Amino acid sequence: MSARDALRRDKLLDAAVALVLRSGVRRTSIDDIARDAGISKGAVYLEFSSKAALLDAAVRREFSRYLAQTCARVEADPEGGRLSGIYRHSIAVLLERPFMRALYTDNGRILDGLMRGPERYRPRALLGTAFLQHLTDAGLLRAGIDPAVTSHLLSVLSVGPLLAEPVLREGTTPPLEATFELLADLVVTGLEPDNPAAPAAGAAAFRELADGLQRALADDSPPNP
C-alpha cells in the first residue's frame, strides 16, 4: 500500500469512528463518511466493498491501537509486568479511548450491531488462562489458584463496572477510573505472591499475547457486504 493510499484509508477510518460515536452505526452512511473524510464516494468503494467492511476495518484498527498503547505502557512501567500493572494499564487505556470505552458502556444505543458482532469487537477475556498460567510459572501469580478461575474473575472485574455504568451512573457516582484503581489494589494485587519474581517476564508474556492478537486481527476476514 502506498503512502497516499494509507493516508486515504486512515482518513476514512478516522471519519467512520468519529461519526459512529456521534450518530451511531445505523445513522452513519458511506456518504457521511466520504464527506467528513473529504474523499469521493467512488474512492471509498475502491477501498471498501461496503459500509460493513469499512466499519469492520475501523474496529480492528481501534483494537489494534488499543493493544499497542497498552503494551507500550506495560513495558514503560518498571512494575508494569505484574498482574496488577497489566490490569491497571489495560483498563486505563481502554477508558482513554472513546471508541473502545463505548463498546462496553454504550449499552447498544450508538454501536448497535457491532456489540453483537464477532468476539473481537468486545474482548471479554484479554487475560486468558494460558497467559495467566505463564505468569504462575514465572512466579508472578500465586501458586494453587486455577488460572481459568482467575481469568474469569479478571473478566468480571473488567467488564462488570463498564456494563453497569449506564445503569448506575448518577451525579454522585465516582469516576470509573477510581473504581478500577480500588479493584486493582484490593483484588488483583492479592492474586500476586508475597515475594513475586521480577516483572520483566510478565511484560514479555503480555507482549507475546498482544502480538498474537495483532496477528489474528490482521488475518481475520472482513464480513460479507
Residue 32: give the domain boundaries: 1-47
Q: Which amino acid is at 170?
A: E
In a 13 Å sphere around the CA of 71, the CA atoms on its Cβ side amount to 17
Q: Which residue has the cell 507475546?
A: 208
Q: What percent of the chain has pLDDT over 70?
A: 88
Q: Report which of 87, 121, 128 is spatially closest to residue 212, judged by C-alpha positions.
A: 128
pLDDT for the residue 25: 85
> pLDDT of 148-205, one tens digit each?
999 999 988 988 888 888 788 888 889 999 999 999 999 899 999 999 999 999 999 9
Computed over every residue of the chain, the mean pLDDT equals 87
pLDDT bracket for residue 59 (50, 70, 90): confident
Q: 14 and 125: one domain?
A: no
What does the alpha-carbon distance between residue 120 and residue 217 come to, in Å, rounded to a whole number? 8
Q: 84 and 125: one domain?
A: yes
Inter-residue contact 187 to 157 (CB < 8 Å): yes
Tell me which range, 45-59, 105-119, 129-143, 205-219, is most confidently predicted by mean pLDDT: 129-143
> pLDDT of 71-124, one tens digit each?
999 999 999 999 999 999 999 999 999 998 887 776 555 565 554 444 444 455
Q: Is residue 54 part of a domain?
A: no
Q: Is residue 208 part of a domain?
A: yes
Q: Is residue 42 part of a domain?
A: yes
pLDDT for the residue 121: 45
Could you give the number of structural domains in the chain? 2
What does the alpha-carbon distance between residue 190 and residue 163 come to, in Å, rounded to a whole number? 24
Q: 106 and 6: one domain?
A: no
Q: 43 and 4: one domain?
A: yes
Q: Which amino acid is at 70?
A: T
pLDDT for the residue 107: 54
User: Which residues make Cβ contacts (< 8 Å) with residue 20, sequence separation at least 6?
Assistant: 28, 55, 58, 99, 110, 111
Q: 43 and 150: one domain?
A: no
For the segment 40-57, the average pLDDT, to the nearest whole number, is 90
Neighbours of 216 (CB within 10 A): 11
What does the alpha-carbon distance between residue 132 and residue 141 come to, in Å, rounded to a whole number? 8
For the segment 24-40, the average pLDDT, to the nearest whole number, is 92
Q: 91 and 147: one domain?
A: yes
Inter-residue contact 80 to 86 (CB < 8 Å): yes
CATH number at residue 11: 1.10.10.60
Q: Is residue 56 part of a domain?
A: no
Q: 95 and 39: one domain?
A: no
The reported pTM is 0.87
Q: Report which of 78, 80, 83, 73 is spatially closest to residue 184, judged by C-alpha positions.
A: 83
pLDDT for the residue 145: 93
Q: Which amino acid is at 211?
A: D
